């Protein structure tokens, strides 16, 4: 193979291009930060998931421990079923509870895990039994108005 | 009276039919390019040479434009985010806009106007000076020897150029956000990494730029191949390349974005 300046330029161009892709993947994106860690799946059922989306973070004590992988409507129980992929490094007791929370006033909706006290740990395919649904603002206001009206009636 | 109405109407109809014909001819042309691509890989040097012309020589305009676009995004983002006290999100805003949309789209537009027009003019002139016919006479397929290498060069170059554009843009956003405005560098990168997902954002951007690369080079080579063998014909073809590439890129971008957002949910 004879070497020409053209090949040099071609090599340089392709290298710079791939370097840029690498920067986008590792520095700009989350490939380095999260990567494809070993994960196990846990399911939870909620009466109302509010604005939860696929890929929303799952946090325990505010630390990211996994992501929501799938959401579907359970036709038998009329509940939302949320599948979460949790990082293998983090193990949770069997009686851990999951709640749907919002970070800040306009922040994103995420799943918060509160560890229980069981000695057994959640394994792949298990279900989180204790769940707390999202707070629906309209219902909250409705309740508030209802109690207000009751108070007024008592007077 | 009737004549004066009929003529523009006739032209309108003619233009419409011509447009439809063009789409069909382009599809057939594309299939022909794919089927005569064997030579390009057997003699990869042909492709390397074209990559130099369409890719390497586009580096400067792509890198500088990327830097400017990133800086402008940083400034504009700062202006708006300041109201909500969320200037740390500049990184996120700049990176997401670039990786998802602006990187692939703007670099494809620049590529179409810089490399696409050159390809059309070159092939158009080759045809006008009967070089393509000469090749045919010598039993060298112009499709395999001239068109296919340029096509593959565009397909190889576009995603790389788009990645370079986005990376430079992020760097521009960093210059404005962190160096000039003084946003905390850690927060800048952390917010960005939290928001930009490799699979959903970066790879989607790469897919987009690949599709744009195919579209632009097919249009550019087809217009050159189809140009009337006159000075006017070549110039008209070059103009058509830039116009229809731009429109095609933007239309495809809408379709691809809709698809990708659907796939997310």
- Ordered by start, the domain boundaries in chain B are 1-263
Instruction: Tell me which of A11, A24, A62 to substitute to probe the interface with B (most B C-beta atoms closer than 10 Å).
Output: A24
* Interchain CB distance below 8 Å, A29 and B198: yes
Are A102 and A50 a contacting pair, CB within 8 Å? yes
Q: What is the pLDDT of residues B219-254, one digit of tens each?
A: 999 999 989 989 899 999 999 999 999 999 999 999
Secondary structure letter of residue A93 according to DSSP: B
Query: What Rg, from alpha-carbon coordinates, does chain A have?
Result: 24
Q: What is the pLDDT of residues A29-81, one digit of tens each?
A: 766 555 556 889 999 999 988 888 887 889 999 888 888 888 999 999 899 99
CA distance B78 to B72: 10
Provide, as residue numbers in chain A, all residues whose Cβ is less than 8 Å from the Cβ of B194: 30
Contacts of range B42-48, beta carbons closer than 8 Å, 24 or more positions apart: B45/A6, B46/B145, B46/B149, B47/B149, B47/B152, B47/B153, B47/B156, B48/A6, B48/A7, B48/A10
Task: Among B56, B157, B196, select the one facing A28 at the smallest CB separation.
Answer: B196
Give strand ranges (E) for chain A.
Answer: 39-46, 57-60, 63-74, 79-87, 97-102, 109-114, 126-128, 130-132
Asked if A33 has any chain B CB less than 8 Å from its own CB, the reply is yes
Provide, as residue numbers in chain A, all residues whose Cβ is less than 8 Å from the Cβ of B55: 13
Asked if B211 has any chain A CB less than 8 Å from its own CB, the reply is no
Q: What is the pLDDT of residues A76-87, one digit of tens each?
A: 989 999 999 998
pLDDT for the residue numbered B251:
94
pLDDT for the residue numbered A34:
54
* Interchain CB distance below 8 Å, A16 and B161: no
How confident is the prediction for chain A on average, in pLDDT?
A: 85
CA distances from B245 to A5, A107, B30, B111 (A): 31, 40, 15, 10
Residues of chain B scoring pLDDT < 70: 1-3, 5, 263-265
Provide, as residue numbers in chain A, all residues whose Cβ is less than 8 Å from the Cβ of B200: 55
CA distance A71 to A111: 12
Q: What angle do CA B117, B123, B128 make, to 5 degrees?
A: 120
- pLDDT band at A99; cut points 50, 70, 90: very high
Average of per-residue pLDDT across A112-140: 86
Asked if A55 has any chain B CB less than 8 Å from its own CB, the reply is yes
pLDDT for the residue numbered B175:
92
Closest-CA distance of chain B to residue A31, Å: 6
pLDDT for the residue numbered B72:
94
pLDDT for the residue numbered A27:
79
- CA nearest neighbour of B111 among B101, B103, B100: B103
pLDDT for the residue numbered A52:
85
Provide, as residue numbers in chain B, all residues whose Cβ is less than 8 Å from the Cβ of A20: 160, 163-164, 166-168
**DSSP states along A105-143:** TT--EEEEEE----SSB--TTEEE-EEEPPPPHHHHHHH
* Confidence check: pLDDT of A104 > 80: no
Closest-CA distance of chain A to residue B157, Å: 8
Provide, as residue numbers in chain B, all residues whose Cβ is less than 8 Å from the Cβ of A70: none
Residue A102 makes CB contacts below 8 A (sequence gap 6+) with A50, A51, A108, A109, A110, A134, A135
pLDDT for the residue numbered B102:
93
Residue B233 makes CB contacts below 8 A (sequence gap 6+) with B124, B128, B227
Strand partners, A64: A59
Task: Among B45, B99, B164, select the one facing A28 at the smallest CB separation.
Answer: B99
Edge-first strand listing for the sheet containing A126-128: A126-128, A39-46, A79-87, A63-74, A57-60, A109-114, A97-102, A130-132
Asked if A8 has any chain B CB less than 8 Å from its own CB, the reply is no
């Amino acid at each position: 193979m004879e070497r020409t300046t053209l090949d040099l330029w071609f090599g340089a161009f392709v290298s710079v291009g791939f370097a840029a892709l690498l920067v986008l993947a590792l520095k700009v994106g989350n490939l380095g930060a999260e990567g494809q860690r070993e994960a196990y799946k846990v399911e939870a059922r909620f009466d109302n998931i509010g604005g939860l989306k696929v890929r929303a973070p799952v946090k325990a004590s505010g630390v990211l421990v996994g992501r929501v992988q799938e959401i579907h409507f359970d036709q038998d129980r009329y509940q939302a079923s949320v599948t979460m992929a949790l990082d293998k490094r983090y193990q949770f007791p069997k009686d851990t509870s999951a709640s749907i929370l919002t970070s800040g006033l306009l922040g994103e909706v995420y799943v918060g895990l509160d560890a229980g006290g069981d000695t057994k740990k959640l394994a792949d395919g298990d279900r989180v039994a204790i769940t707390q649904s999202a707070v629906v603002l309209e219902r909250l206001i409705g309740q508030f108005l209802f109690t207000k009206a009751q108070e007024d009636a008592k007077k | 009276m009737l004549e004066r109405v009929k003529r523009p109407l006739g032209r309108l109809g003619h233009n419409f039919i011509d447009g439809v014909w063009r789409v069909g001819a382009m599809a057939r042309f594309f299939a022909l390019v794919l089927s005569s691509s064997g030579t390009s890989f057997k003699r990869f040097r042909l492709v390397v040479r074209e990559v130099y012309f369409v890719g390497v020589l586009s580096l400067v305009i792509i890198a500088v434009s990327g830097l400017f676009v990133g800086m402008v995004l940083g400034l504009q983002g700062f202006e708006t985010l300041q109201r909500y006290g969320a200037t740390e999100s500049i990184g996120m805003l700049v990176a997401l806009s670039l990786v998802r949309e602006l990187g692939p789209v703007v670099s494809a537009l620049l590529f179409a106007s810089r490399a696409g027009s050159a390809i059309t003019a070159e092939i158009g002139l080759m045809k006008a000076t009967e070089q393509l016919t000469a090749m045919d006479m010598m039993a060298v397929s112009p499709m395999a020897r001239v068109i296919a290498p340029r096509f593959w060069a565009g397909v190889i170059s576009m995603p790389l150029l788009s990645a370079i554009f986005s990376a430079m843009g992020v760097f521009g956003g960093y210059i404005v956000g962190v160096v000039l405005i003084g946003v905390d560098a850690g927060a800048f990168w952390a917010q960005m990494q939290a928001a930009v997902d490799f699979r959903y954002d970066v790879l989607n951007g790469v897919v987009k730029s690949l599709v744009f690369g195919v579209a632009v080079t097919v249009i550019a080579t087809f217009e050159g191949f189809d140009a009337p063998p006159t000075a006017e014909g070549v110039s008209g073809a070059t103009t058509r390349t830039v116009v229809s590439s731009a429109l095609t890129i933007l239309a495809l971008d809408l379709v691809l974005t809709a698809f990708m957002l659907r796939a997310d949910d």
